[in-house]
Homo-oligomer: A and B are copies of this chain.
Amino acid sequence: MSQVVINDSEVDIVIGALHSDLTSFMNEWKPIFSRFHLIIIKDPDLKGDLQIPGGFKADVYTKSDIERVIGSSSSVRFSGYACRYFGFLISKKKYVVCIDDDCVPAKDNSGNLVDAVAQHVLNLQTPATPFFFNTLYDPFRKGADFVRGYPFSLRSGVDCVLSCGLWLNLADLDAPTQALKPGQRNLRYVDAVLTVPARAMMPVSGINIAFNREAVGPALVPALRLAGEGKLRWETVEDIWCGMCVKVICDHLGFGVKSGLPYVWRTERGDAIESLKKEWEGVKLMEDVVPFFQSLRLPQSATTAEGCVVEMAKIVKEQLGKIDPMFSQAAESMEEWVKLWKSVGSG
């Protein structure tokens, strides 16, 4: 990895606690997390007290904290994986790094521990190149560059505001795929970061991401919720929906999105066959969601992330609302989220 100078005071690590015993998780991450401020949000549905080892600068938020802040708001829900969005809302930092609590640090091909935070911040601090694909991947990486034919006028790039990391061991597959290939493990460490081209849509996973909160924080919105949403990643699509919102907004505002390094090592288990009951719903929704976002264009009058989310919510309601009431609810959550973001930001 190239050297990166990280200002500790610019980074919040947000952890959504879906498991009450975080001891092992946090001890594994201690060498990487201990210098940063942590925001831990306890899933409101989770019973029992959180177990958090010492040695961290951590603030913990529970159901009562959430209720105090959101007040009478009812359309934005913070249960399950969505609890982390409360952390995004109350953070005051420039960068947010967010990693699922069933992941531990990965090792690279040389056996070195991967510093996921440093890599995410490096991704966010170096430009992205969404307007022309560089075949040698990230041109700003040490030893890399722009290849022949790359226009010089595009080489300064644009601000990167979303960094999507990957997973070793258990990949982020959907329940049907996992059920079909229960023994499959992702063991290929691909040593690359790339900018996802403008107008290309992608499935952003919430497992291991970071973003520039000042630039696009409000676009990371908890909106699409399955009726029978579960506590395993493959039983949710909130992050997939959120990722498409952010990607469209980045394309509209001229920001970049990167994918690739850093990897984390995923250990979550769970019964994929059992999850199929829930996940098929999410799988079916994608058939409408993806073409919708692919053709979505925001008005030029939307010049901020907040403004883009509001405009997007209107279009979601109009175009997707008639297909499934879940989409209308998502649109309401998006509108409500922007109001919350503004009130928390000014409060």
Contact = CB atoms under 8 A, between A and B. Distances in A.
Interface residues of A, number: 59
A344 interface: no
A223 interface: no
Contacts of A188: 143-144, 191-192
Interface stretch (A17-25, A34-42, A72-80, A198-206): A198-206
Contact of A135 (B145, B152, B164, B198): B164
B148 A196 contact: no
A209 to B, nearest CB: 11
Contacts of A194: 194
Interface in A31-67: none
Q: In the complex this chain forms, how many copies of it are found?
A: 2
A69 interface: no
A149 interface: yes
A39 to B, nearest CB: 25
B137 A190 contact: yes
A136 interface: yes
A233 B196 CA distance: 27
A150 B187 contact: no
A153 interface: yes
A286 B109 contact: no
Contacts of A153: 287
A108 to B, nearest CB: 11
A101 B290 CA distance: 44
A173 interface: yes
A146 to B, nearest CB: 7
B151 A290 contact: yes
A343 to B, nearest CB: 31
A226 to B, nearest CB: 13
A132 B290 contact: yes
A288 to B, nearest CB: 9
Given A133-B202, A174-B148, A184 B143 contact: yes
Interface string A143-169: 111111111111000000000101000
A259 interface: yes
Given A136-B166, A143-B186, A149-B243, 4 more contacts: A145-B181, A146-B173, A146-B174, A197-B200
25 contacts: A132-B200, A132-B201, A133-B196, A133-B259, A135-B166, A135-B202, A135-B204, A136-B171, A144-B186, A146-B177, A147-B172, A148-B237, A149-B174, A149-B240, A149-B286, A150-B174, A150-B286, A151-B286, A151-B290, A152-B286, A153-B287, A190-B192, A192-B192, A194-B194, A199-B200
